[in-house]
Amino acid sequence: MIYLDYASTTPVREEALQAYVEATKKFYGNPSSLHDLGSEAAHVLKMCREQLATMINSEAEEVYFTSGGTESNVLAIRSLITAHQDKGNHIITTKVEHSSIYHLCKQLETEGFEVTYLGTNERGQVDVNEVKNAIQDTTILASIHHVNSEIGTIQRIKEIGDVLDDAQVLFHSDCVQSFGKLEIDVKECKLDSLSVSSHKLHGPKGVGMCYLHSATKWKMQLPNTTHENGFRPGTVNVPGIVGFTTAAQLVTQAREVNNKHEEALRKRFIAGIEKTNYDINVEGDSIEQLPAIIGLSISGVQGQYLMLEYNRYGVAISTGSACQVGKQEPSRTMLSIGKTVDEAKEFIRISFGQFTTERQIDEAVSILKKIIKQLRY
């Protein structure tokens, strides 16, 4: 099968898998234990923390390990807002956040918090001025993602960070889609917190990272938690973290090469579909755009149908965020950029990575033409 659903998850790299297996054999001690095996595991954990910290320009003690992006998002936001409720009860986010943040904010509304959901322009980008205008005296935190998972639009988090920092509003960003692909400097972007997931960059599933600024107050969510300095309960997954760190190192080192490869694949795919006479629209921003994600709207064709037909031809794509599969609601991203409900259901996402080939892209274009031709005639 041709795999073009990298934005959902990625295949584990052999190096990361090998690192995971070796760590499972050698460092099986609990890093909280005081015996030698525990100390060895703790030392490995410290090394991973230090290596990941250099990738976002943070300090090692500001890196906390979790089970993935969703847990990082939820724990970070809850830990920060509960520690700063003396300031107020207002939160700023967007209509196009990952479901873990969007639904958390909906839950927080039932708990007495006020949430402002910012829209986007037709390219999926949040207006920095709208962020500024949304700030109230009671605003505690803003959570705005770095890269949209459905259409790949890049948000201007440095500019947003400057605005929030001036207003003394905490800034959390979901960087699951951008980590390893774009440069992230937590100091430059004035970030108080960010979230990352291992399986989006060829690491094992069930592992994630959360950055929390050491100068920013936060509150543990489960009393008397001892692991991860009280941020997350449960024995730390040392082998998974070793695999994650290995994958992160490899993808970061090859970032420039990977980006050029993915930009070339993007241009090849778009050039291929532009040669058709079909009404196919590429969503997102033409410049501030992650090249590996291509969001498409195909007039008159249900995205769910296209996905199933692609699968029948041996190609894996998606109709948007994997966390929304099975839901009846249309894409919030599509609605935010101005699509009607029916138009939003015409969306599909092609996403690829460093192991995707030109032949696979050409095959995907050819199959798309076949599917649409069958529908038209």
Task: State CA 317 to chain mean position distance.
Answer: 17
Local structure of residue 104 (DSSP, 8 states): H
State how far the Cα of 128 lies from the Cα of 126, in Å rounded to an integer: 6
Cα–Cα distances in angstroms (integers) from residue 105 to residues 73, 114, 235, in the given order: 11, 9, 28
Q: Which of 105, 175, 210, 323 is catalytic?
A: 323
Local structure of residue 52 (DSSP, 8 states): H
Quickly list DSSP for 315-376: EE-BSS-GGGTT--SPPHHHHHTT--HHHHTTEEEEE--TT--HHHHHHHHHHHHHHHHHHH
State how far the Cα of 346 lies from the Cα of 138, in Å rounded to an integer: 40
- Residue 184 near residue 158 (C-beta atoms within 8 A): no
Runs of H (alpha helix) within the chain: 14-26, 36-56, 69-83, 99-110, 128-134, 157-166, 238-253, 255-274, 303-312, 332-336, 341-344, 358-376
Using DSSP's 3-state secondary structure scheme, residue 2 falls into strand
Radius of gyration, alpha carbons of the chain: 21
Calculate helix-pair angle for 358-376, 303-312, nearest 10 degrees.
120
- Tokens 């890049």 correspond to 154
Catalytic residue list contains 105? no
State how far the Cα of 8 lies from the Cα of 150, in Å rounded to an integer: 10
> Would you name the residues annotated as active-site residues?
323
